[in-house]
Amino acid sequence: MTDSDRDFDPPADSTDADSDGADTDSDVIDGDTVPADTDTTDLPASSLSLDDFYEVVDAEERPVLTASQVARRFDCSREEAKQGLDALETAGKLDSADVEHDPVVWYPSTVGDLAGRERVVLFPTRREIVVDEPTQYTRAQLAQFAHLVDSTGTEPGTRGYLYRIRQEDIWAAPFDDLDDLLAAMRSVLPRESPHLEEWVTAQWERASQFILRTHDDGYTVLEAANENLMGNVAQQKIPEDALRGPISETEAWVNSDEIAAVKRTLYEAGYPVADDRDLDTGDALDAELTATLRDYQQAWVDTFLDQQAGVFVGPPGSGKTIAAIAALVAVGGETLILVPSRELAAQWREELTTHSTLTDADVGEYHGGTKEIRPVTIATYQTAGMDRHRQLFDSRGWGLIIYDEVQHIPSPIFRRSTQLQAAHRLGLSATPVREDDKEKEIFTLIGPSIGTDWAALFEAGFVAEPEVQIRYVPWRDDDAKNAYSSADSQDRHRIAAQNPAKIDEIRTLRGRHPDAKTLIFVDYLDQGEEIADALDVPFISGETAHHERQRQFAAFRDGEQRTLVVSRIADEGIDLPNAELAVVASGLGGSRRQGTQRAGRTMRPVGNAVLYVLATRGSREEDFAQRQMRHLAGKGVRISETTISE
């Protein structure tokens, strides 16, 4: 069997230029606004440094320079520029060569340095930043006010890192005042952009126009910065039943049951609401953290405590749960932890008692299996949203509510839990993306994103980057191929997913990794049974009895069982150790989040892990696989493709 390999390079995201005008100090190249390096710096040639040389390389967009080009840049004579270049050549920093069109050109002694240098390009009207080979400092600064859209171009000569500055990034920027934010921007951007800074200033000011506070008599008040905002924004856009009545020209009495609706409505109108209500934190919780936080985890916690709301976003294995426990201990009040499943409730109990001084007596579970209210209570979203249990949860003074797998919050059943009141709200998610494009609701209802970009954690060694490969499997069963050709669209998807040739391919892959702990993901029960029978391994699905699931997962954790075939039940909320090998046999019609969650099963602090995604060649599975993996590629994971021979 031979494979034909090629790199996977998803297309760059494209964004139409804004309708607002371009900066006057910029040029247009290929339809995009880019900085024009027309300013000159009065620098004596005798002090010419290698960095100065590289500045001219960037400005001229050429890897070799003449003395005349350097002279124009630094507003000095050609002779002075030549003296500076000669000095750098003598020091071994530059080399020179005689060419026909100019007596001499200079270039770096190590030409590869040109490809390895950081280069920042700003597109101000689109509010986008492209960075080739960014330093850790640059990435850390950009993460404070910009969103990492794509990081697939990390090799020399590729597109580089793409950042976009969004409204919500400015609203959530961790700075005490606007001047600090602008200083951080200027420290990494190639030049100041009045156009961009005016937009940033306007967004910063929008973030403090509406405030929720507690009246002396105990009810909630919405306060606007001026009469115009209250009359033309709040009263025009907020549903009538959410505001009980005006208090003054700039204040309104808010219906306590509609606070989430008020926040969501104003957020969508472009005005995030500051929540300064005096909320009950419940009884004091006396606990200490026993784990040691990494620097980035401590930064997450510090940001959350400052904001009192937010969503920890990071790859599987980055320690979001440990950071959440640290936040819980720091808040020091009664805590409600909401989870999507009973299995995850049990996992949280173990994590709490392992990484803090909390004991089993301090932690209660409230779901279909048991109903305990303790200083720390773990409940399922479904139970917390039921009318017959709501009064109990509403009557508590929660210092903190933690929303695990917070990407589910926009769904109707899960959304009801956001109406519970708490002094602090914290969400956790590796993948806060949704196919219905409701990601903004997550940050509106819970809080802004707090996290470190995945690539930075890969580079720092905190999380091992998995090797991800899409493998295009041919048809080797004529009956299946003919059935696919004659089937309608819906049946085609199922037939391609269950291509019998995938079983042989799974055997081949297990043969390449004979000792690896392996998870094989399927979406179809009959396919799961077929693969499990062929490999003589267990198949775990939602139909598997709860006690049997627990037994098999424990055997996998302990290493007694090296391979499991699993359905969607293992995509999230199950305490499985990270696998060394994962194979996606079906499920490519699912969401981007599902693809990331399955890849996350191979992410761990040390060691190499592999994820293989099997797609039937010539079917829609090819497009589905690329779409799912494109989201991973945007997080900094390198993806490759292989076509299996007939």
Of 42, 73, 48, 74, the C-alpha closest to 60 is 73
Judge whether 366 lies within some domain: yes
Of 206, 221, 251, which residue sits at a domain end?
206
What's residue 537's pLDDT? 94
Burial of 514 (0-12, 13-18, 19+ CB in 10 A): exposed
Residue 586 lies in a domain: yes
470 and 576 in a single domain? The answer is yes
Are 92 and 160 contained in the same domain?
no
Q: 428-447 pLDDT, tens per residue?
A: 987 654 434 455 667 777 88
Q: Read off the tokens for 595.
A: 């693809």
CA distance linking residue 255 with residue 251, whole number of Å: 13
Q: Would you say residue 8 lies in a domain?
A: no
Residue among 474, 576, 481, 573 nearest 520 (CA)? 576
Q: Judge residue 324's burial from the number of C-beta atoms within 10 Å of its C-beta, 0-12 exposed, 13-18 middle, 19 or more buried.
A: buried
Q: Determine the pLDDT at residue 595.
A: 44
Structural domain for 154, as ranges: 124-206
Instruction: Note whether 446 and 427 are same-domain residues.
Output: yes
**In terms of domains, do 504 and 603 share one?**
yes
* pLDDT higher than 80, residue 576: no
pLDDT of residue 317: 74
Q: Residues 6 or more apart from 42 whose CB is under 8 A from it?
A: 74, 75, 76
Question: Tell me, what CATH number does 549's domain have?
Answer: 3.40.50.300
Measure the CA–CA gap between 621 and 628, rounded to whole angstroms.
10
Query: Nearest 5 degrees, angle CA 511-CA 577-CA 608?
Result: 50
Summarised one tens digit per residue, pLDDT across range 589-623 is 444 444 455 444 444 544 467 888 899 998 888 88
Are 299 and 444 part of one and the same domain? yes
Structure tokens at 203: 């967004």
- Regarding whether 542 and 592 lie in a shared domain, the answer is yes
Structurally, how many domains does the chain consist of? Answer: 5
Reported as a single tens digit per residue, the pLDDT across 329-341 is: 999 999 999 998 8
| Separation between Cα atoms, residue 349 and residue 24, nearest integer Å | 59
Is 588 part of any domain?
Answer: yes
The answer to whether the CB of 398 falls within 8 A of the CB of 336 is: yes
* Three-state secondary-structure class, residue 528: helix
pLDDT of residue 632: 67
In a domain, 19, yes or no: no
**Phi, then psi, of 5 in degrees rounded to 5:** -100, 150
Q: Is 542 helix (H, G, I), strand (E, B) or coil?
A: coil
> Quick check: is 13 in a domain?
no
* Mean pLDDT, rounded, for 223-250: 92
Domain membership of residue 16 (yes or no) is: no
Please answer whether residues 356 and 287 qualify as being in contact, where contact means their C-beta atoms are separated by less than 8 angstroms. Answer: yes
Confidence (pLDDT) at 277? 81
Q: List the 309-313 sheet strands across, edge first.
A: 363-366, 376-380, 335-339, 398-403, 422-429, 309-313, 449-451
**Which of 237-251, 273-287, 533-547 comes out lowest in average pLDDT?**
273-287
Percent of the chain clearing pLDDT 70 (strictly above): 77
Which residue did the predictor score with more confidence, 625 or 434?
625
Q: What are 152's two structure tokens?
A: 């697939």
Q: How far is CA 587 from the centre of its chain?
A: 22
Contact 569, 541 (CB under 8 A): yes
**Helices 501-512 and 525-535: angle between axes, nearest 10 degrees:** 50
Confidence bin at 14 (pLDDT 50/70/90): very low
- Cβ proximity of 398 and 423 under 8 Å: yes
Q: Of the given ranges (30-44, 263-277, 489-503, 564-578), which has the lowest mean pLDDT?
A: 30-44
Residues ≥6 apart with Cβ < 8 Å to 85:
48, 53, 65, 67, 70, 94, 96, 106
* Digit-coded pLDDT (tens) for 473-505: 999 888 888 888 888 877 888 898 899 999 999
pLDDT digits (tens, 9 = 90+) for 386-420: 777 777 777 777 889 999 988 777 776 677 777 77
CATH number, domain of 102, equals: 1.10.10.10
Other CB atoms closer than 10 Å to residue 159's CB: what's the count? Answer: 16
Q: Which of 453, 477, 505 is the last residue of a domain?
A: 453
Range of 309-323, 455-469, 518-532, 601-615 with top mean pLDDT: 518-532
What residues have CB less than 8 Å from 10, skipping those under 6 apart? 150, 152, 626, 629, 630, 633, 634, 639
Tokens 């620098």: give the residue: 43
Give the per-residue pLDDT at 558. Answer: 83
Reported as a pLDDT band with limits 50, 70 and 90, residue 354 is very high
Same domain, 513 and 558: yes
Is the CB of residue 390 less than 8 Å from the CB of residue 321?
A: no
**Distances in whole angstroms, Cα of residue 141 to Cα of each of 64, 183, 188:** 31, 10, 7
Strand partners of residue 29: 32
Give the pLDDT score at 102: 53
Does 352 have pLDDT greater than 90? Answer: yes
Residues 216 and 319 in one domain: no
Position 425: which residue type? R
Are 395 and 522 in the same domain? no
Return d(Cα 433, Cα 250) in angstroms, integer. 36
Would you say how long the chain is, in residues? 646
Task: Look at residue 427 and tell me if it is in a domain.
Answer: yes
In a 10 Å sphere around its CB, with 0-12 CB exposed, 13-18 middle and 19+ buried, how is residue 526 labelled? Answer: exposed
Q: Are residues 92 and 44 in the same domain?
A: yes
Same domain (yes/no): 245, 185: no
Ranges 207-221, 252-266, 404-418, 586-600: which has the least confidence: 586-600
Mean pLDDT of 575-586: 74
Main-chain dihedrals φ then ψ at residue 521, nearest 5 degrees: -95, 135
Looking at the fold, whether 101 and 138 belong to one and the same domain comes out as no
Among 50-59, 255-264, 582-591, name the one with the lowest average pLDDT: 582-591
Considering the chain, what is the average pLDDT of its residues? 78
Handedness of CA 587, 593, 599, 601 (dihedral sign): negative
How far, in Å, CA of 557 to CA of 60, rounded?
58
